[in-house]
DNA sequence: CGACTGCTTGATGTTGCTCAACGTGCGTGG
DNA sequence: CCACGCACGTTGAGCAACATCAAGCAGTCG
């Protein structure tokens, strides 16, 4: 059963392996010695960790690679050990980027349990390492290890409170405020540095904030004119953080 | 410990009992015989149900009564047995109604576990019966009953997938589409009837869709002119459902 | 009766989308 | 190799959608 599952996992990813750089690193991962364990996995004992190792595939994705495809069957829980991804829905007319998630984190846990198929696509926006854990194995840990279950609930809860901010950001603010918030998010939360390379195109930035590409571009230009930002392609330097913060709060 | 908790619960609600009609119905609720149990509670055995009964207060709220106040300390899990509520955040400038929740349902589970204080206010918009369950008791069920934990995770997951629709509704649609979606929501999901009394003011409708009171009013008037709706105060009759659906899909 | 709340409608200004033009870099195929 | 299509980025002009401001109306409560 375990090996079969592992093979299934591989099959899926070898079938569509026109992707470059997308290779399983380790089919029988040694979760026991993993130093990037989630808080939840920290509650597992050696036997459970061994079982997790037997039912988990670690994979490496390059920038732009598709990690999870919307509509595909839901047989894993994805945990990102390192890297950065975007979670998005690609509608016919417009795309929406739901959020940017940095490692370490579980991806779309509510999606994994709420539905049989994936509700979102996930794409790497930096080089990213992912553990794909067999959903049945994961469910067993929830059923038989209360501490694990509790940590998972905490994890989902916290991530949902963050979603609230996205919703407020995208419904209550004018466009410059939305862009400012996203810039601050990367500054403070992702890179913790006033100077960084934005891992998103202008189109992505627009999809993340629910505005058009043109508006996003114009707003960035305006920020440069106001000496709030310095921009060179995707390289951004925040020159006036208080100013940016004021705009983000509208 | 159990009785102390129960007394604490009561204290909170007697202190602020300028509210009319807000009375604990039953301090030692007989959860065992409750026919409105949640799926999660269905996994509890008699001993656990008895413990839940000892740590849970059932209360009745009238329309307009505040059930949970934003910023208050988080010591219960709220479960609505019957009725209808709005979950909202009252900002200084604007209010946001996050969503409308009908019984039976747990309220803001992610809020209960993700933070020490409540992130939202909850207000009854129809006569509503609520069970307030001691948070520590609830946590124990998660820790020691895997089936319960799993059901709670399913519950949170499904509710979060619904939140996605809210987000899409409020970011991807123009104002008439948002209003149309809300009308359809009450028609199909809440009342299952083309004719109903909207339990929201125009202001609430605006806060729920992220638009202004005036716009909401104008859009409703337009729908009447187009013979899509018939409106008399808060009474709404859907005359042209396909038309409404088309607008809601933009 | 006046004060107040909830609702509606009109006039006006602003925001931001759409359309369009133009430039750039990249990959593909002749 | 160049020509071409294509995604990305920037900027301008015009227009539709909305918010804001303002006025007025009906119902309610003290």
Please write the tens of the pLDDT for every residue from B93-124.
778 999 999 989 998 777 778 788 888 899 99
Please, which residues 156-195 of chain A have a Cβ atom closer than 8 Å to chain B?
156-158, 160-161, 163-164, 166-168, 170-172
- 3-state per-residue secondary structure call for A10-29: HHHHHHCCCCCCCEEEECCC
In 3D, which of B232, B124, B223 has the Cα closest to residue B182?
B223
Q: What's the rounded mean pLDDT across residues B38-64? A: 85
DSSP string over A150-187: HHHHHHHHHHHHHHHHHHHHHHHS-HHHHHHHHHHIII
d(CA B10, CA A100): 43
Contact B172 A110 (CB under 8 A): no
User: Is residue A11's pLDDT more than 60?
Assistant: no
Which residues 180-239 in chain A have a CB closer than 7 A to strand D?
201-203, 213-214, 217-218, 220-221, 231, 234
Instruction: State the pLDDT confidence band at A34, using cuts at 50, 70 and 90.
Output: confident
Residue of A nearest to B149 (CA): A149
Question: Measuring CA to CA, which residue among B95, B101, B96 is closest to residue B186?
Answer: B101
pLDDT of residue A92: 66
Q: pLDDT of B159-217, one tens digit each?
A: 888 888 778 777 888 999 999 999 999 999 999 999 999 999 999 999 999 999 999 99
pLDDT > 60? residue A16? no
Q: Which of A175, A181, A208, A186 lies closest to A97 in space, CA to CA?
A: A208
pLDDT digits 0-9 by tens, A128-172? 999 999 998 999 999 999 999 999 999 888 888 888 878 877 788
- Of all helices (H) and strands (E), which one includes residue B68? strand B66-68
Identify the pLDDT of residue B28.
Answer: 53
Q: Is the pLDDT of residue A21 over 80?
A: no
Element (H, E) at A49: helix A46-54
- 3-class SS shares of chain A: helix, strand, coil, % to 5: 50, 25, 30
Confidence check: pLDDT of B18 > 80 = no
Angle, vertex CA A110, rays to CA A105 and CA A115, nearest 5: 135
User: How does DSSP classify residue A228?
Assistant: S
Cβ atoms of residues B248 and B181 within 8 Å: yes
Nearest to A187 by CA among A131, A236, A129: A236
- The token pair that represents A13 in the structure block: 């990813």
Q: Mean pLDDT check: name the lowest of A15-24, B102-111, B128-137.
A: A15-24
Interchain CB contact of A249 with B (< 8 Å): no
Rg for chain A, CA atoms, rounded:
19
B41 CB burial (10 A radius; 0-12, 13-18, 19+)? buried
Q: What is the mean pLDDT of residues A99-121?
A: 85
Determine the Cα–Cα distance for residues B69 and B92; give it in Å rounded to an integer: 15
**∠ CA(B100), CA(B102), CA(B107), 5° rounding?**
75
State both tokens at B57: 């207060």
Nearest residue in chain B measured CA to CA from A90: B168
Q: Report the alpha-carbon distance of residue A150 to residue A153 in Å, rounded.
A: 5
**Taking Cα atoms as reference points, which of B12, B11, B28, B16 lies closest to residue B131?**
B28
Q: What is the pTM of this model?
A: 0.85
pLDDT at A28: 53
d(CA A34, CA A31): 5
B107 vs B156: CA distance, rounded Å = 10
Neighbour order of strands in the sheet with A95-102? A66-68, A121-124, A84-90, A95-102
Chain C positions within 7 A of any protein Cβ atom are 6-11, 15-20
Q: What end-to-end distance do the CA atoms of chain A give, in Å? A: 55
Nearest to A140 by CA among B126, B199, B147: B147
Q: Which nucleotides of D are covered by protein (CB under 7 A)?
A: 7-13, 17-22
pLDDT beyond 60 at A12: no
Q: Which of B85, B90, B158 is nearest to B125 (CA)?
A: B85
Mean pLDDT of chain A: 83
Residue with tokens 């960084």: A196
Average pLDDT over every residue of A201-223: 95
Residue B43 Cα, gap to closest chain A Cα (Å)? 12
Distance B12 CA to C11 C1' (A): 50
């Amino acid at each position: 059963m375990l090996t079969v599952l592992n093979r299934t996992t591989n099959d899926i990813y070898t079938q569509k392996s026109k992707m470059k750089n997308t290779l399983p690193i380790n089919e029988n991962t040694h979760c026991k010695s993993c130093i990037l364990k989630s808080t939840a996995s920290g509650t597992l004992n050696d036997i459970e960790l061994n079982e997790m190792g037997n039912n988990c595939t670690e994979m490496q994705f390059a920038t732009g690679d598709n990690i999870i495809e919307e509509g595909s069957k839901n047989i894993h829980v994805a945990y990102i050990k390192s890297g950065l991804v975007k979670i998005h829905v690609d509608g016919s007319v417009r795309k929406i980027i739901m959020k940017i998630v940095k490692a370490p984190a579980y991806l779309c846990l509510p999606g994994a349990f709420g539905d049989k198929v994936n509700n979102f696509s996930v794409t790497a926006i930096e080089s990213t390492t992912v553990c794909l854990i067999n959903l049945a194995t994961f469910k067993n840990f929830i059923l038989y290890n209360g501490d694990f279950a509790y940590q998972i609930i905490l994890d989902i809860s916290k991530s949902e409170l963050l979603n609230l901010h996205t919703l407020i950001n995208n419904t209550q603010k004018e466009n410059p405020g939305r862009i400012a918030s996203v810039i601050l998010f990367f500054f403070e939360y992702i890179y913790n540095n006033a100077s960084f390379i934005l891992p998103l195109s202008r189109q992505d930035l627009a999809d993340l904030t629910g505005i058009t590409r043109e508006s996003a571009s114009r707003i960035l230009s305006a920020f440069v004119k106001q000496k709030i930002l310095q921009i060179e392609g995707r390289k951004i330097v925040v020159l006036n953080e208080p100013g940016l913060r004021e705009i983000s709060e509208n």
